[in-house]
Amino acid sequence: MSSLVNLDLNLLVALRELLRERHVTRAAARVGVTQPAMSAALGRLRRHFNDDLLVRQGNQYVLSPLAEELRTQVEAVCSAAMRLFAAGSPFDPRESAREFTLLMSDYSAAVLGPRLSGLLEVEAPTVTLNLRIGLRSSIRDAVDTVRLTDGVIAPHVAQYESVDMQALDLFRDRWVCIVDRHCTYLDDDGQVSLDSLARMEWVVSFPVSNGIPVAAPVARAVVELGVRPEVRISAESYELVPYWVAGTNRIGLVQERLARRVAPLLGLEVLPYPGTAGTIVQRLWWHRDLDSDPGHRWFRDAIRRVAAAV
């Protein structure tokens, strides 16, 4: 507690903008202070962390390794502070300058993003949305991550089973396989046999361990097929998978909404998933402490309405 009492919490805002902008003058403009004042704040932060944070590289600044680690943390802490001081205040989305933080995969962003963007422009034109893409760290530290954000859009995983977590079903999807339309493994009926699946090279989302993707539910889906896929390419992105299948003899496993959207553009065939555990339920997860926050209730309802439209 003593360290917190002695800490100038204004430095949190300075740190956030410096890590966002990677430029002292632009960070100063965003905060509304002079350039010398922001330079002084950067000096204090460097002394506190014993790290340069912003490192000159050519004619620009890049983040130090420590700054990269701090970037996600400071965004979450600033968002949590804004929610704390907004508690009990009336919320008018048309007038609010509040910042919401939402964690989701690139796939969920593609499904919900266009409609959510349009809704915010109409109903909450001065609200800021901080999108964080990628969920591996949020799953590892699920409750703490959700407590420091306005929500996570993700399927159910065991780490989210907590009395502190609330959830709302948003939309459903299912797994499908994708191959290039000229793939030589396609049989006369335009399908790929299980025997061929075992011999094909795979493109998967997220890293692999012992030949199996580590991210659920992709891992469960592949294991259920009863084959050990020869993973040739793995990426921490769902949306990248189709691009590394196109024009090759490889096969990928992706969500049907994503597959149908990109298949005509990339010359892909969308094939039924040969297993049974193909259903995906995307949920919005949030910490129960946010239930009394009127701004958060509006934000949840906005996401619910957008999901209902898809």
pLDDT value for 246: 97
pLDDT of residue 173: 93
By the 8 A CB rule, do 256 and 241 touch?
no
Q: One fold for both 93-171+281-309 and 172-280?
A: yes
Q: What is the pLDDT of residue 219?
A: 55
- pLDDT value, residue 157: 73
d(Cα 190, Cα 181) in Å, to the nearest integer? 9
Q: What is the pLDDT of residue 7?
A: 67
For the chain, 310 residues long, the average pLDDT of each consecutive 10-residue run is 61 87 87 87 90 88 88 77 67 90 91 95 94 64 68 80 83 93 91 84 70 50 69 86 96 92 96 77 88 90 95
SS3 of residue 285 by DSSP: strand
Residue 221 has a pLDDT of 58
CATH number for the region 172-280 comes to 3.40.190.10
Consecutive H or E run containing 220: helix 218-224
User: Radius of gyration of the chain from Cα atoms?
Assistant: 23
**267-295, pLDDT tens digit by residue?**
999 998 877 666 789 999 988 878 888 99
CA distance 67 to 15: 9
Those residues with Cβ within 8 angstroms of residue 194's Cβ, 6 or more apart along the chain or in another chain: 225, 226, 227, 274
- Which pLDDT value is given to residue 300? 95
d(CA 148, CA 74): 10
How high is the pLDDT of residue 270?
Answer: 96
Distance, CA of 40 to CA of 61 (rounded, Å): 17
Task: Tell me the DSSP string of 88-142.
Answer: TS---TTT---EEEEEE-HHHHHHHHHHHHHHHHHH-TT-EEEEEE--HHHHHTH
Tally Cβ neighbours within 10 Å of residue 106: 19
Domains of the chain, by residue range, sit at: 2-68, 93-171+281-309, 172-280
pLDDT value of position 213: 44
Q: Which CATH class is domain 93-171+281-309?
A: alpha beta
CATH number of 2-68: 1.10.10.10
Alpha carbon distance 146, 102 (integer Å): 9
Q: Would you call the peptide bond into 217 cis, given omega within 30 degrees of 0 as the criterion?
A: yes
